[in-house]
């Protein structure tokens, strides 16, 4: 949505395709777990081998950080603060070409005014880094051209969906200052951040019926929590399993728990163990065949010439299952998106959920001109551009925004009213974001004790590689050496984490510099996924404040 406002809609590409990354001088990676995608990681390594400098910023050590030239560990929730500091220093020291900014952007004066009041030392303290780190990164990003920003920061890492919008906004500002939009080697590649939570732990809007509580949608972390509910609490009587579940989830304990359920329904695009242990299975379309205007994940977006793919054979979309189930249960009024031919009006359904998500509700509609023709990964403008040439890597024209030529079908380089990139605009205010992305740098969370730290969660593949094979147990608690010395903690000591609610978590200690200052890490040794969110257990999620205590022999 921010990209739509800044650059004039979904008529072009902010993102440069991976095979163009080799043209970048500096690649700034914000929380991106690129190593989870072998192909993307290969493009990143190609760029590095050809001289690109890699900056990786994250709350935890990752395999991408291992390959970076400038690995930077920060406190949870401080991604946007670090960009505050970087943009503040670049502007304060005049490390930009004002003529280019005047020529290609509008609203920079508002951004400048808002960015000048920050104290670098305070920002560094809030991020958990030295002030010199901000200085070095600012110089590197200001003195090299072109630069690129790659990100996969989740909403839980920036204190909610609105934080994602502000981080994206700051990224566009940084790229505009460097003149790195609309050039080879530049661009803003925001990879899959996961689905934004609908209504963010609250009721959905626009439902005035007395039984609104039936539609109360709460934010669930992932399927593993539901499995714990089924196995440990034994309160579930029926289960609808939507999607493919990894084989390793199916323990004998889970299989026995499933056998006690009265009904297990399976929705999937392929054979998997979930189907084997279900009473009934519905074959649904996979992500490539989905009946929708666009699908977005780590695989980027696919849209075939503005046409959605028809469902093959008897396979239907998962959304249609839910719509028809709701009708049978008498909840059809809550699902008013069925066409006369019993298919789903995807645009209407998508519009509804867009309006429920605070980070996106400035988008008026997905209909009309917003849905322009698409190709594989990047849009095209004409039918001719949608044709595959011999040995073509992608379909369509991958760099639509260019400073030195007109945007196709217009007399401007950027398809906005002014023909410029909108760094600040009244439409931003109308969307509820204000005139700039800058805000308070003070923490919303208060320390809960003398030994209070921010929690980060991580998995074995993304954090330790094969090192976990020599460790025993399910979890270890990572502690920075400085804090370990303060707390007199050594490897293997029993550590107790305590939340403000009084809940506790116990695991052995592992003293390592891979954990940032002011944080402790909950490392899941058995989790096979790269994704940290799969490591969460109950309320032990990234960013919460925890007290750390060393347990003595015999103490509980």
330-365 pLDDT tens trace? 888 877 887 887 777 766 776 776 666 554 554 555
CA distance 277 to 494: 39
User: Could you say which of 368, 388, 420 is where a domain stops?
Assistant: 368
Positive or negative: CA dihedral 457, 230, 320, 248: positive
Please report the pLDDT score of residue 229 as a whole number.
66
Q: Which among 242, 271, 282, 275 is positioned nearest to 258, based on CA atoms?
A: 275
Does residue 274 belong to any structural domain of this protein? yes
Print the SS3 string covering 418-484. CCCEECCCHHHHHCCCCCCCCCCCCCCCCCCCCCEEEEEEEEHHHHCCCHHHHCCCCEEEEECHHHH
Q: Which among 455, 478, 464, 471 is positioned nearest to 538, based on CA atoms?
A: 455
Print the SS3 string covering 116-150. CCCCHHHHHHHHCCCHHHHHHHHHHHHHCCCEEEE
Does residue 64 belong to any structural domain of this protein? yes
Please report the pLDDT score of residue 237 as a whole number.
83
76 lies in the same domain as 158: yes
Element (H, E) at 539: none
169 lies in the same domain as 95: yes
- Between vectors from CA 357 to CA 353 and to CA 362, what angle results, nearest 5°? 100
8 lies in the same domain as 113: yes
Does residue 443 belong to any structural domain of this protein? no
- Between vectors from CA 350 to CA 398 and to CA 356, what angle results, nearest 5°? 115
Indicate which CATH number applies to the domain containing 76. Answer: 3.40.228.10
* Number of domains composing the chain: 3
- Between vectors from CA 126 to CA 125 and to CA 131, what angle results, nearest 5°? 35
30 lies in the same domain as 160: yes
500 lies in the same domain as 410: no
CA distance 111 to 34: 31
333 lies in the same domain as 474: no
Does residue 159 belong to any structural domain of this protein? yes
Does residue 294 belong to any structural domain of this protein? yes
Please report the pLDDT score of residue 27 as a whole number.
97
64, 41 contact by CB (below 8 A): yes
252 lies in the same domain as 219: yes
Q: Which segments of the chain have a pLDDT < 70?
A: 1-15, 36, 154-156, 158-162, 192-229, 231-234, 243-251, 269-272, 285-315, 346-347, 350, 353-410, 412-415, 431, 443-451, 460-471, 527-538, 554-556
Question: In Å, how far are 146, 175, 407 from 26, measured between CA atoms?
Answer: 7, 11, 26
Positive or negative: CA dihedral 340, 342, 345, 349: positive
CA distance 368 to 350: 14
73 lies in the same domain as 172: yes
181 lies in the same domain as 117: yes
Please report the pLDDT score of residue 494 as a whole number.
92
Please report the pLDDT score of residue 321 as a whole number.
83
Residues in a beta bridge with 300: 297
Three-state DSSP at 217 gives strand
Indicate which CATH number applies to the domain containing 535. Answer: 2.40.40.20
The contacts of residue 35 (CB under 8 Å, 6+ apart) are 41, 62, 63, 64, 461, 462, 530
Please report the pLDDT score of residue 57 as a whole number.
94
The conformation of residue 409, written as its DSSP 8-state character, comes to T
36 lies in the same domain as 185: yes
98 lies in the same domain as 183: yes
Does residue 150 belong to any structural domain of this protein? yes
Does residue 276 belong to any structural domain of this protein? yes
Hey, what are 108's tokens? 């920079």
337 lies in the same domain as 457: no
Question: In Å, how far are 182, 454, 544 from 446, measured between CA atoms?
Answer: 42, 11, 10
Host domain of residue 355: 212-368
Does residue 460 belong to any structural domain of this protein? yes
What is the pTM for the complete model shown? Answer: 0.71
Indicate which CATH number applies to the domain containing 320. Answer: 3.40.50.740
């Amino acid at each position: 949505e921010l990209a739509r406002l800044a650059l004039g809609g979904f008529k072009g590409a902010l993102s440069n395709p991976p095979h163009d990354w080799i043209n970048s001088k500096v690649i700034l990676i914000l929380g991106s777990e690129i190593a989870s995608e072998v192909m993307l990681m290969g493009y990143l390594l190609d760029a590095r081998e050809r001289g690109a400098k890699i900056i990786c910023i994250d709350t935890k050590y990752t395999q991408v950080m291992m390959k970076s030239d400038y690995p930077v560990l920060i406190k949870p929730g401080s991604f946007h603060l670090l960009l505050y500091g970087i943009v503040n220093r670049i502007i304060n020291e005049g490390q930009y070409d004002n003529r280019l900014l005047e020529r290609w952007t509008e609203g920079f004066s508002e951004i400048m005014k808002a960015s000048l009041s920050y104290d670098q030392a305070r920002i560094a303290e809030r991020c958990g880094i030295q002030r010199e780190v901000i200085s070095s990164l600012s110089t590197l990003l200001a003195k090299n051209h072109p630069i690129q920003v790659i990100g996969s920061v989740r909403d839980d890492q920036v204190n909610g969906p609105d934080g994602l919008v502000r981080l994206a906004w700051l990224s566009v500002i940084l790229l505009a200052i460097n003149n790195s939009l609309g050039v080879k080697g530049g661009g803003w590649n925001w990879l899959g951040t996961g689905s934004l939570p609908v209504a963010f732990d609250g009721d959905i809007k626009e439902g005035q019926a007395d039984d609104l509580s039936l539609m109360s949608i709460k934010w669930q972390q992932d399927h593993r929590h539901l499995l714990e509910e089924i196995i440990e609490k034994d309160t579930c009587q029926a289960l609808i399993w939507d999607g493919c579940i990894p084989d390793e989830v199916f323990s004998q304990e889970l299989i026995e728990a499933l056998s006690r359920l009265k009904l297990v329904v399976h929705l999937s695009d392929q054979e998997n163990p979930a189907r084997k242990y279900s009473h009934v299975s519905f074959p649904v379309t996979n992500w490539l065949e989905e009946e929708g205007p666009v699908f977005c994940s780590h695989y980027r977006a696919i849209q075939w010439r503005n046409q959605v793919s028809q469902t093959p054979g008897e396979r239907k979309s998962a959304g249609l299952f839910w719509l028809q189930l709701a009708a049978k249960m008498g909840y059809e009024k809550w699902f008013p998106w069925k066409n006369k031919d019993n298919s789903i009006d995807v645009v209407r359904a998508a519009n509804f959920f867009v309006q429920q998500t605070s980070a996106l509700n400035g988008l008026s509609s997905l209909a009309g001109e917003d849905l322009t023709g698409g190709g594989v990964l990047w849009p095209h403008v004409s039918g001719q551009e949608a044709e595959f040439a011999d040995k073509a890597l992608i379909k369509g024209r991958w760099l639509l925004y260019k400073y030195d030529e007109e945007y196709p079908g217009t007399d401007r380089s950027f398809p906005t009213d002014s023909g410029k990139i909108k760094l600040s605009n009244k439409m931003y205010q109308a969307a509820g974001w204000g005139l700039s992305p800058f805000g308070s740098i003070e923490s919303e969370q208060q320390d809960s004790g003398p030994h209070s730290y921010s929690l980060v969660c991580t998995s074995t593949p993304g954090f330790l590689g094969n090192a976990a094979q020599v460790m025993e147990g399910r979890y270890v608690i990572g502690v920075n050496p400085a804090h370990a010395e303060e707390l007199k903690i050594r490897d293997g000591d029993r550590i107790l984490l305590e939340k403000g609610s009084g809940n506790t978590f116990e695991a052995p200690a592992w003293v390592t510099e891979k954990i940032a200052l002011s944080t402790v890490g909950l490392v899941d040794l058995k989790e096979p996924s790269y994704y940290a969110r799969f490591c969460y257990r109950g309320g032990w999620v990234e960013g919460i404040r925890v007290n750390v205590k060393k347990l003595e022999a015999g103490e509980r």
